[in-house]
Structure 1
């Protein structure tokens, strides 16, 4: 009896196994849970486990070694090439997303006979080439392209793995996109410039996303016939960024319909050349009297920042703010206007560049030198929605109703209060623009009224273009032109705009961005019946970076 009791007691003291984990029980209460493998669950703070009496092992956080990088890249690429999807996906940071995309690679994209060849690693990044064949209903075509993967360390267990993004499978994929081969739902288009010359991505690399957008909008209307293609079909995230479906390979081309654009071959070629000289540059040229877009170019060709970017415009926003202040009698071009070193509003202390100040100077002087406090100091006399209404009613912005012929973003000037409202007066806070928007702002000043920009004439598809509900008074418009003219002649834009006068005007801008060493450099200007705006991200002062790009295009004239 005593022996049986001792055995029962020993059994009661054994740890209970719950859901594949061992729960250590002390005094009848659960004290800790430990994994069956890997030496137990490590405490996040590296503290000592009271139950184990030992310090939990630390998770490795050092960069993957060259050996780890090579091992993981080889493991992933080999499994992918052999069609072992589950094994390849298990090597990544998101096995579910990897499984879905790699499965679709064969099932939906119909890509077979894949050969993957790794190149020389650069740190944890491994480039690789892809060779395969796309086969669909008796039609086949070879497919070749280059991609890359990056090996990272899992933050939870310290193991090396592939940092998963859809771009690993193909560089044109964004997360959430898929690859599909089949009869294209949208016929191809042949886009031509204003003179009838064909526009191709080979000739004008910046137009690649524009051409995709033109096909999406006009493919079925232009009278073409669809072919069989391998396409990138955009997911929710990419569509939210206004990205269009993209053809990667045409197995049978189909018959394209023709779409005429407003682009100038001379200005488009020049714009491409200009942005190619500078990293992360974007520019748009348009005609103020009509709204026709004459050129659009970006250094990076994947995302059309010029049309779809959403960036703080910095001091170029002061063109809109100035029109507001003049209308409300809070500023006048030739009247004395305050420009102190700093101004506090809504709990924020606003500064000028290098804390400069202008004593006894005019509003024109403050505008030309881009004095922030000259604008912030007027915030107490403005309503929270004053700038929003001005942008919408006079400049046609921030109403999400532009119809230019391809996807675009028409700016954002939200109603804000306190410090954020003040910041919006100088193009910070919640204000967001792109070069198309700011070229339109300069065009509105030059033309005297808003003309919605467009790339394809509205008459092609009888679409309704956006309009502004009112125009500036002649007095306000005259002063605003005086401000921009003076800035081009003697202000921060003078160096870039040298020799382009007298029928011209400009405004520079620099927009601070969190975790970015240099601000984004902006520039918007007009000359004759041309207007243009550009941004160089992380470029510094707009007059030095975006200014020369814009001025060089205005110098060409006519279009």
Structure 2
């Protein structure tokens, strides 16, 4: 009688039935009847667990040998045969199945692929698949733990469940999952594991590959100052791709165990070893205020009128909102247009420094000459107007006369640069345009510059900064990201000049040309309108204002007077974000 080899960790015994004695009846030999033999295996221990330390960590993409994994139980594992059994076989008992499964898991767990595959009904296929799995999914530690009979088993093919735990270098956690194997009777009578690809993983079917692979590099998605997403804003669609991670910040390539291949099967992540990450850049924008700015510009640009708006926080220089239309060119920060009478804020600063006071009489003539004629929006002579009155009612002739009298050529550009930071090279985080305030070659050019026309070129970003500088009394270069390199103005706006400018802008907001759009706004407010002659009957609308720690500039090409289109847009943002 052949002696059955008992697996380690189990004790076994065999009971033999008594053999019937041969007899002869009437000289004929009776057929010989051999007694059945049954082997009973008794478990000597509890749950099996094996741990294998395997060096290495990386990604492979070779195809595993898991095809043809559904063949019938076959020949001897010891000889590497994959021949199907030739005759009926008694199914393994539950105890035999448990012992066979235990021995297979022990061999696989300690990394002995040859021994493990020999304990299956398809040793060559199993060896190729187990080898590919070991190479494609290199682990630091690998443990297999039996979990008892599996529900998928049948009386003819008992099944055992087991749990896999794999640990990887650099991973934050272990990969754990449940699988199962079934046991059949081989041709030589042994109880062996029926090999199918799902023994390795339940989702590893024929033709599928399981491997550690690099995940696609993530795309950095800048967020607003509070971490809110900024996708979906029309004005930011071309801006966000220009935002690069900070110097030295690197994209982290993630790694995951994936299963892919097979007809109609999409690649699937089974376990993420290291999640991919891109250095997040927080912009200074406020998503809620950006939404308001987008809507304000959309309303005022209806009919195809180009428009833009920028909101700045005076205390920090942070750009809180930036909207423009049409898309394709960011006129809010890269455009260049004459600002009209909003330039009178800088002209007033120059005049105040030149000795003119807010109460100095500066007559507002119906017409003045430089030698070219200049007029105001509202006809009439107002000889008793002061500088404050001229500012409040936006009198062109008064500013031209007093500017030509008190200011030297180039003074306007000097004050703009040294106290308001205009004309310096700003680095806000994306490409932007600096102000252009050229040295006037004639009195006509100087007169035009004093009222923000002619060759003066600015944009909403620059003029929002002008309003912010008046509100806080200090120039702080606007930035779109906190790590942007800021420049400082060479000088500082004198305290008394800043105080007088705030008083003049406050009166304009409550009693002057800006009173309609600023109506209903409380707290510290100030504003200045601007209307630019654009040839013919067309006029461009400009408006700058502040409310508390929020400064806004808006412009609408062809929008009419400053207190209409641009003023309405700016006031919407001030109402939403400004505090008294």
Q: CA deviation at 1:256?
A: 4.4
Partner of 1:326: 352
Given the alignment of the two structures, is residue 520 of structure 1 paired with residue 560 of structure 2, yes or no?
A: no
1:522-537 equivalences in 2 (<5 Å): 522-537=542-557
Q: CA deviation at 1:342?
A: 1.2
Partner of 1:428: 453
Are residues 373 and 457 of structure 1, via their aligned partners in 2, closer, same or farther at CA, if it must alter by over 3 Å?
A: same
Aligned with 1:405 (options 426, 429, 440): 429
The 8 Å contact of residues 547 and 578 in structure 2, kept in 1 or not, is answered as no
2: CA distance, partners of 1:355 / 1:505:
25
1:198-347 equivalences in 2 (<5 Å): 198-200=229-231, 203-215=232-244, 218=245, 221-224=248-251, 256-279=278-301, 280-329=306-355, 331-345=356-370, 347=371
Q: CA deviation at 1:388?
A: 0.6
The size of the alignment, in residue pairs, is 336
Aligned with 1:478 (options 499, 522, 540): 499
1:388-399 equivalences in 2 (<5 Å): 388-399=413-424
Q: CA deviation at 1:354?
A: 4.1
The 8 Å contact of residues 367 and 397 in structure 2, kept in 1 or not, is answered as yes
1: CA distance, partners of 2:540 / 2:246:
36
Q: CA deviation at 1:465?
A: 1.0
| CA deviation vs aligned residue, 1:335-392 (integer Å, no higher than 9, x gap) | 32111111111x3111111433322122111111100011100213321110010000
User: Which is worse superposed, 293-302 or 332-341?
Assistant: 332-341
Q: CA deviation at 1:285?
A: 0.7
2: CA distance, partners of 1:262 / 1:205:
17
Aligned with 2:221 (options 176, 190, 198): 190
1:121-160 equivalences in 2 (<5 Å): none
The 8 Å contact of residues 351 and 406 in structure 2, kept in 1 or not, is answered as no
1: CA distance, partners of 2:242 / 2:221:
12
The 8 Å contact of residues 188 and 257 in structure 1, kept in 2 or not, is answered as no
Aligned with 2:570 (options 546, 550, 554): 550
1: CA distance, partners of 2:523 / 2:401:
31
Partner of 2:508: 487
Q: TM-score, normalised by structure 1?
A: 0.58
Partner of 2:471: 446
| CA deviation vs aligned residue, 1:173-192 (integer Å, no higher than 9, x gap) | xxxxxxxxxxxxx9842110
The 8 Å contact of residues 489 and 501 in structure 1, kept in 2 or not, is answered as no
Are residues 384 and 354 of structure 1, via their aligned partners in 2, closer, same or farther at CA, if it must alter by over 3 Å?
A: same
The 8 Å contact of residues 300 and 569 in structure 2, kept in 1 or not, is answered as no
Q: CA deviation at 1:221?
A: 4.9
Q: CA deviation at 1:273?
A: 1.1
Q: CA deviation at 1:532?
A: 0.4
The 8 Å contact of residues 368 and 484 in structure 1, kept in 2 or not, is answered as yes
2: CA distance, partners of 1:221 / 1:305:
31
| CA deviation vs aligned residue, 1:321-343 (integer Å, no higher than 9, x gap) | 001001101x3212321111111
SS at match of 1:535: strand
Are residues 213 and 365 of structure 1, via their aligned partners in 2, closer, same or farther at CA, if it must alter by over 3 Å?
A: same
The runs of 5 or more residues in structure 2 that have no matched partner are 1-216, 254-275
| CA deviation vs aligned residue, 1:9-54 (integer Å, no higher than 9, x gap) | xxxxxxxxxxxxxxxxxxxxxxxxxxxxxxxxxxxxxxxxxxxxxx
2: CA distance, partners of 1:406 / 1:356:
46
1: CA distance, partners of 2:388 / 2:378:
20
The 8 Å contact of residues 188 and 225 in structure 1, kept in 2 or not, is answered as no
SS at match of 1:374: helix
The runs of 5 or more residues in structure 1 that have no matched partner are 1-185, 227-253
The 8 Å contact of residues 305 and 434 in structure 1, kept in 2 or not, is answered as yes
SS at match of 1:464: coil
SS at match of 2:530: strand
